Amino acid sequence: MEEDCCATQLIYGDGQFNSSGLDRFVKEVKLAECGLSYAVVAIMGPQSSGKSTLLNHLFHTKFREMDAYSGRSQTTKGIWIAKCVGIEPCTIAMDLEGTDGRERGEDDTTFEKQSALFALAVSDIVLINMWCHDIGREQAANKPLLKTVFQVMMRLFSPRKTTLLFVIRDKTKTPFEYLEPVLREDIQKIWDGVPKPQAHKSTPFSDFFSVEVVALSSYEEKEEKFKEEVAQLRQRFFHSISPGGLAGDRRGVVPATGFSFSAQQIWKVIKENKDLDLPAHKVMVATVRCEEIANQKFNQLVFDEDWLALEEAVQTGPVQGFGKRLSSILGTYLSEYDMEAVYFDEGVRNSKRQLLESKALDFVYPAYTTMLGHLRSKALEDFKVRLEQSLNKGGEFASSVRTSTQSSMLEFDKGCADAAIQQADWDASRVREKLKRDIDAHASSVRSAKLSELNINYEKQLSASLTGPVEALLETGGKDTWTSIRKLLNRETEVAVSKFSAAVAGFELDKDTSTKMMQNLKDYARNVVEKKAREEAANIMIHMKDRFSTVFNYDSDSMPRVWTGKDDIRSITKDARSASLKLLSVMAAIRLEEKPDNIEKLLFSSLMDGTVTVSSSQDGRIAASTDPLASSTWEEVSSKDTLITPVQCKSLWRQFKAETEYSVTQAIAAQEAHKRSNNWLPPPWAIMAMIVLGFNEFMLLLKNPLYLMVLFVAFLISKALWVQMDIAGEFQHGTLSGILSISSRFLPTVMDLLRKLAEEAQGNPAPEAPRRPVSVASRSHRNETPPPNTISSSIPESSVSSNISSSDGDIEYSSPPLRQRRPMNVQEVEPL
């Protein structure tokens, strides 16, 4: 069964204290059994502000509530008390008669001051019920009442700690964080302005009171939200007198058995104190009435059709005549307020007008800021379009930016003047500054993009003009290679820098930035040369072999060499290696500064004139200490400019010699073969032996002509077979292969020859058959790679074939270029 709240009227409307009713209430709620574990909660505030409704929802009491459908009138008369249902510890709720009621009139405010003083003296927690829109007011916010109560309370009663819980009703969009400081500041001002007894001259407000503030939604408009917030507030009253609770630091608590007597004595003292009988004044009426008029005009402004149309229009874009239209709307409602409030107190009237104007301006300010935002966006877009058009027409960047900026800022200033409101002196300087920053940022972005594009274009031009020529000069590897590269680099850099300087002049860059960009372009050109030099240096072995092949295999007229007995292979080899070593010395280091070095001299003296191979370990240690190439750096050349170190040069030269040795061996073999092919006569001693031993046969032929005729016929047949079978060619590449080829072709050739003779004898000569190609055995023999010479040193095999041409028995050999290599384990010999 639900617990009864035992609602009882404690003080009647005429000020009479209901002693018997209080005693009966104490017995029904068993208050005497609580000792010190009980709390008293009172509520005060304007009439019809929902005090009873709040208490009933907050503590499940049953105080009488106003019937809104019957009109707004006084509901609670005097002071009522009831037990808070379901709250621990035992808590007593006290419902006070509302202040500023028309039933008592404006001149009879004594009871409301007495009841307020009684609540502060008896209660541990006092709820001060007030409308949200009353915050900042003088009368409606109960400031005069609190001031009088504070002053008399300190004189009549001993100090005790009371918690003032301000309940803000019908909270608005104003953030709670802004309302709470205002209330606290008002309370502190009231306290500071109250005359205090000598004993409490310097006592701070916090010694007597603790201030808490909560805000609740409208009960009529947001009932469910209101109930949820009240339910949350109810939780704070559980164990309210415990440390950390709402009344956890209270002092001077009267035991529960003496509560009835204490309350009667306090009310008696308050009734007898004449200082509370202050005359009423008209300020309160003026405050309330002007507040009502101001709220009415503000509500009319909120739903004004012209304002709603203007607000909707400004959301989509800038509105022409915005300031004039809005000023007219505001002026209309302010004029209506002045007409309706003309007979009220001037000070209150002016104060409420200022509040109305301020509230109205705060309401329309978002639309004004939206208007400024549209003006700023439009001015920024216009700047972008003007700048792009000016640049497309060939205008200089800096002058185009200045012209476009001036036009856009002038347009924005005109828009701000059109949007200005007569009732407000709003400053658009912040939006203007933001527009200026946005314009500067966009101009800076475009400038960076343009400069970057220029820089990239000139870098591409430099790369195109340097890469090819530098590569060609390095491949040439002449004496003046680096001199030519330096001249090329300086010439192309000067041309590019000159053109680049003229191109960026329109940007009006500061001297430091311009100098830095020019230097970056020069550094890029140098890096292009250095990068290309390093790429070519990485392929130095290929370049050296190509250079060797060119010099070794071709003569001064660029014709392929034919290795005859007259060629000096040793001299040609030395020239080819010298040319390759010259190329190595050129690519050993970057020489973009005109500094002399001895790299070429050192390489020739160590690799061409000396030897780089040491046989014994002892000799190796001696040579290592005296070898000028046993180092990782070149003299007078910095490490960053070194492409190939001395040690690497030595290793590369050893590898180069090994890979080119086979070409030399092939040339020597071709020369020897040429000599053999041109010498068919037997040795002189063999000729003398044939003359001596064949003398008798020779005389026999002379004596018998028949033998001579047979011998002549045999010679003709042999000559025909010789030519037909190309016996000289068959034996050119070896006796065994020649015998095999001739034996396989001999019988078919003889039969073919006899058939031709028979056909000629019959007068029907057959057409000459095409010459039979070289046999497979012969062709395979010719394509065989000659075996390496056993006297050569580390000869790699190259895919080289000897080009053999035969004309009337004359055989010539030509050495082809190097293509591939295959190392072979052979004995090392003295280099040529």
Q: Which residues sit in the known binding site for GTP?
A: 45-52
> For residue 584, what are the contacts with CB-CB under 8 A and spacing of at least 6?
540, 544, 603, 644, 649, 652, 653
Which run of H or of E encompasses 44? strand 38-44
Q: Is 307 exposed, middle or buried (0-12, 13-18, 19+ CB in 10 A)?
A: buried
User: Cα–Cα–Cα angle for 358, 362, 364, nearest 5°?
Assistant: 120
**Interatomic CA distance for residues 34 and 24, integer angstroms:** 16
Give Dmax over CA atoms of the chain in angstroms.
Answer: 193
Per the CB < 8 A criterion, the answer to whether 815 and 555 are in contact is no
> For residue 775, what are the contacts with CB-CB under 8 A and spacing of at least 6?
741, 744, 745
**Interatomic CA distance for residues 640 and 592, integer angstroms:** 12
Per the CB < 8 A criterion, the answer to whether 802 and 796 are in contact is no
Helix axes 110-122, 143-156, angle to 10 degrees: 60
Q: What is the CA radius of gyration of the chain?
A: 60
Nearest CA to 165 among 126, 205, 117? Answer: 126
In degrees rounded to 5, what are phi and psi of residue 777? -65, -40
Q: Is 203 exposed, middle or buried (0-12, 13-18, 19+ CB in 10 A)?
A: middle
**Interatomic CA distance for residues 325 and 319, integer angstroms:** 10
Nearest CA to 5 among 55, 66, 77? Answer: 55
Per the CB < 8 A criterion, the answer to whether 262 and 252 are in contact is no
The runs of H, that is alpha helices, within 202-250 are 223-235
The pair of structure tokens assigned to 132 is: 């949200």
User: Cα–Cα–Cα angle for 3, 162, 51, nearest 5°?
Assistant: 50
Annotated binding site: 45-52
Helix axes 540-553, 646-677, angle to 10 degrees: 30
**Interatomic CA distance for residues 183 and 198, integer angstroms:** 27
**Interatomic CA distance for residues 141 and 356, integer angstroms:** 17
3-class DSSP assignment, residue 696 = helix
